[in-house]
A and B are shown apart, each in its own frame.
Chain A
Amino acid sequence: MSSQTATNVGRFGPRDRESFFDAQRRNRRATWRMSFFCFIAALSMGIPLTLLLSPLIYAVLLIGAEIYNYYSPLPREFWLQVENLARLAQRVGNFIFNHKPIDPQSAILGSLVLFLPGILLSILLWLTVLTLFRRGGVGGALLNLSARQPSQSDLKELQLADVIQEMAIAAGVPAPQVRLVDGAGANAAAIGTGIDDAQIVISRRLLDVLSREELEGVLAHLIASVGNGDLRIAFTVTSIFEAYGLIETLINSPFGPKARSTIWHILRYAFLRSKDSRAREAEIVAGLLAGNVGLASDDIDHFFQSGSSKPSIIRKVLNFVFLPILITNLAIRLILWFFSTAALEPAVALLWRTRQYLADAGAVQLTRDADGLASALRKLNQQNSSVPGGGWASHLFIVSPGRSDRMQETDPSPEAMQRFATAWASSAGSTATVAGHWKAGDLKTEIGSVRYAAMQGDPGAIARLYAFGQAMAAAEGGTLPFKMPDPADVVAARNGDAAAIARLQPLIAQEYAGRQSQPQEEKQNGLQADGFVSFHPPLKRRLVRLERMGARISLPDASGSSRTIRIIVSVFLAPLITLVVAVILMLIAAMSMLSLLLLALWLGAMHGIFSLLAHH
């Protein structure tokens, strides 16, 4: 599929045409292929993981049995069985490490005993995640408090509601609900669990940027995506990551507050029914879980490093008790990090890309107009496209929302900011002194939203701005961090006064520039954070495909030299990457073996301690 594109990019003259039906068929086939790769990747991650998990489960069970045995002795047969199991493990270990021959029966039994508990636990955890988060679907975090319904009196928003209806009619599906978010980024996403409860989250800015045809293209893409069942796919995929995150969290839970608070979140989510924000909460918990996959979670390191230079005796005992788990934990973390970065995430990203291409082709089928979507994609890629809350769900957006911090604005001095904050507070009529905790970002966001409301003609907001302007003038009469629009102009502009509109234009432009410069409040975690393959197809490939479906766009042909460079670089990089991968794999293998060995020794020591205790 990609090779086809590559040959087309380099060709002179008209490119091959492809009907949107053919394109959809092709992408559906590609989905199957990619699903297979995802399955392989998930499996390749699961095998070493279960290899480490099973002994851990045995260890926990055994310790439980030892403690139980201490108070009321277990029957002799039980310990005989345990011994048999240990012998079996020894034989398997001998086969692996010392290449001693092993009879096939015990080999099969041994691998079954080794893998089955881990597999069962993984599946159990996965099912837990599936049932926990099924109702929320994906993307609930986007529905924050500021999401609102389109207004009936605003022409652009009315148009949005109309276009959604039109596209739903074209697709023959019930029209999804729509929620608007105000902000500087122009982007749109579909969220929910399926076609029946899908919601479209769209930023108000997008409506200002795009024409009706382009809006049609964007919404057709989203509705086609929902109609193709992408939400279900996204949910399944994220649930796999979340299940791995849950494993990681459970292993970390004896050591650190972060993992424990995550588990607390999960329990609260599972047993307390708060109806209003359920989808959002599900997404937060899911984000916490998925954020635990990788090398970033550090509870366990804190546990072993914390404390004074002279640890207490209890501390030492605890350290000894948990030492094998530390090694296992490190091995599991390494496995999760390596396989999710190198195998699972790229596979999932490529799968998701084929879904995006499929939805693009579906959009062309719905609108019969490849130009609208093509020009919309172009515009959105040049725009700031960040949306609050979009970090975790960025794959659901039509264009990648991770391009917010291109412009950083320096904040005014603290003193100026303080005066500013006091003036702002006094304009609200509050006499409370403003403490220094005012963060410049918070204040700007608040003022920005009031100014935005004022520009929309909200009389309360206009009055507030008037008061603020006067307070500011009284305080210093100096420069304001931003220019104030004259509220009278705003009102006049609403009534169609051309001169007032002209006066306001530069201020509105500045408004958006100011909003753009706000740093994104949450850091990205989860799927996209450290993946090196983007979940969004490159703009150029999308445009090439749209052009083949009839979009009239002029694409620059890929120059031969850049491709030569790419080939040379990959020729040099390929052995290097192979080497690194081999080293990491060997490291994983070594750590796994070490952790198994340590665990076995540790179990032996524990057994000795307990038997000593029992004899006394």
Chain B
Amino acid sequence: MDIPIVVIAFILAFVLFLVWMIVAFNGLVRMRNRVRNGWSDIDVQLARRHDLVPNLVETAKGYMQHERSVLDEVTQARSQAVVPTANIPQRALAEASLTGALSRFFVQVENYPNLRAAENMQLLQEQLTSTENRIAFARQHYNDEVMNYNTARLSFPRNILAGIFGLAPATMFAADPNDRERVEVQLSSSSRP
């Protein structure tokens, strides 16, 4: 019954410390999982773009008899991007070349008013615009989550916890130079009102 008050305080502090550790660790894990989830979201959106391209080419074929090379380029770039690979840089390259091919394609579309006005084409163009946006927003969300996670991971005292349990820092998804080029083209050719 006569446990010294110091011991009680010590035990209390230890219990509080344990509780904090559990809460903080779970918080870090939650953030890391959000980062992973954000990464898979980007994948989903890239796959969506791959699914859209054949439709696009099919619609454009009838109108663009003389621009076979552009269409072939898009088809080829798509088929390269679809191939599953674990190599991230290689994948990024394939996606970038698909983006480039698509932007050249939309420059060509400008020369075909009938094609541009076709309802189907407008819908497809809206879908593609949306997909490009989704990829961008998925990246943005991913980067926000990475920032949250990394800040939490590096800030005291949670950095000690992250060190003990080996929670590695996440890397941001950097936009590549090709993307900037695309953005300019996108503005001139999009169906935005």
8 Å CB interface, A492-509 against B: 496
Residue B108 lies at the interface, judged by CB distance under 8 Å to chain A? no
Determine how close the nearest CB of chain B comes to the CB of A157; give it in whole angstroms.
11
Q: A172-B34, A172-B38 are in contact. Are A212 and B193 (CB under 8 A)?
A: yes
Q: Residues of B at under 8 Å CB distance from A?
A: 34, 37-38, 41, 45, 117, 119, 122-123, 126-127, 129-130, 133-134, 137-138, 140-141, 144-145, 191-193
The residue of chain A having its C-beta at the shortest distance from the C-beta of B44 within the complex is: A169
Contact call B140/A170, Cβ cutoff below 8 A: yes
Residue A524 lies at the interface, judged by CB distance under 8 Å to chain B? no
Contact call A171/B130, Cβ cutoff below 8 A: no
Q: Kindly list the 4 A-B residue pairs having the minimum CB-CB distance in the complex, ordered from nearest.
A: A162-B130, A170-B137, A169-B137, A166-B133
Contact call B122/A155, Cβ cutoff below 8 A: yes
Contact call A212/B123, Cβ cutoff below 8 A: no
Determine how close the nearest CB of chain B comes to the CB of A417; give it in whole angstroms.
39
Contact call A162/B137, Cβ cutoff below 8 A: no
Contact call B141/A166, Cβ cutoff below 8 A: no
8 Å CB interface, A141-200 against B: 153, 155, 158-159, 162-163, 165-167, 169-172
B-chain residues with CB within 8 Å of residue A172 when the two chains form the complex:
34, 37-38, 41, 141, 145
Could you tell me the distance between the alpha carbons of A496 and B119 in the complex, rounded to whole angstroms? 10
A-B contact pairs, 11 of them (CB 8 A): A155-B122, A155-B123, A155-B191, A162-B127, A170-B141, A171-B141, A211-B192, A211-B193, A365-B144, A368-B140, A496-B117
Count of residues in A whose CB is under 8 Å from the partner chain? 20
Given B122, B126, B140, B141, which contacts A162 in the complex, CB threshold below 8 Å?
Answer: B126
Q: A155-B126, A172-B37, A172-B38 are in contact. Are A212 and B137 (CB under 8 A)?
A: no
Given B41, B119, B192, which contacts A212 in the complex, CB threshold below 8 Å?
Answer: B192
Could you tell me the distance between the alpha carbons of A165 and B41 in the complex, rounded to whole angstroms? 12
Determine how close the nearest CB of chain B comes to the CB of A397; give it in whole angstroms.
23
The number of A-B residue pairs with CB atoms under 8 Å apart is 50
B-chain residues with CB within 8 Å of residue A366 when the two chains form the complex:
137
Q: A211-B193, A212-B192, A496-B117 are in contact. Are A169 and B130 (CB under 8 A)?
A: no
Q: Is the interface of A mostly helix, strand, loop or mixed?
A: helix
Determine how close the nearest CB of chain B comes to the CB of A407; give it in whole angstroms.
27
Could you tell me the distance between the alpha carbons of A167 and B137 in the complex, rounded to whole angstroms? 8
Determine how close the nearest CB of chain B comes to the CB of A364; give it in whole angstroms.
12
Given A158, A159, A169, A496, which contacts B45 in the complex, CB threshold below 8 Å?
Answer: A169
A-chain residues with CB within 8 Å of residue B37 when the two chains form the complex:
172
B-chain residues with CB within 8 Å of residue A169 when the two chains form the complex:
41, 45, 134, 137-138, 141
Determine which residue in B45, B122, B137, B191 has the highest number of CB atoms from chain A within 10 A of its CB, and name it. Answer: B137
B-chain residues with CB within 8 Å of residue A213 when the two chains form the complex:
192
A-chain residues with CB within 8 Å of residue B193 when the two chains form the complex:
211-212
Determine how close the nearest CB of chain A comes to the CB of B49; give it in whole angstroms.
13
Could you tell me the distance between the alpha carbons of A153 and B122 in the complex, rounded to whole angstroms? 11
Contact call A163/B141, Cβ cutoff below 8 A: no
Contact call B117/A158, Cβ cutoff below 8 A: no
The residue of chain A having its C-beta at the shortest distance from the C-beta of B193 within the complex is: A211
Q: A172-B34, A211-B193, A212-B192 are in contact. Are A166 and B117 (CB under 8 A)?
A: no
Determine how close the nearest CB of chain A comes to the CB of B115; give it in whole angstroms.
14
Contact call A158/B126, Cβ cutoff below 8 A: yes
Contact call A165/B130, Cβ cutoff below 8 A: yes
Could you tell me the distance between the alpha carbons of A159 and B129 in the complex, rounded to whole angstroms? 10
The residue of chain A having its C-beta at the shortest distance from the C-beta of B141 within the complex is: A172
Determine which residue in A162, A169, A170, A366 has the highest number of CB atoms from chain B within 10 A of its CB, and name it. Answer: A169
8 Å CB interface, A331-368 against B: 365-366, 368
Could you tell me the distance between the alpha carbons of A368 and B139 in the complex, rounded to whole angstroms? 13
8 Å CB interface, A6-60 against B: none
B-chain residues with CB within 8 Å of residue A211 when the two chains form the complex:
192-193
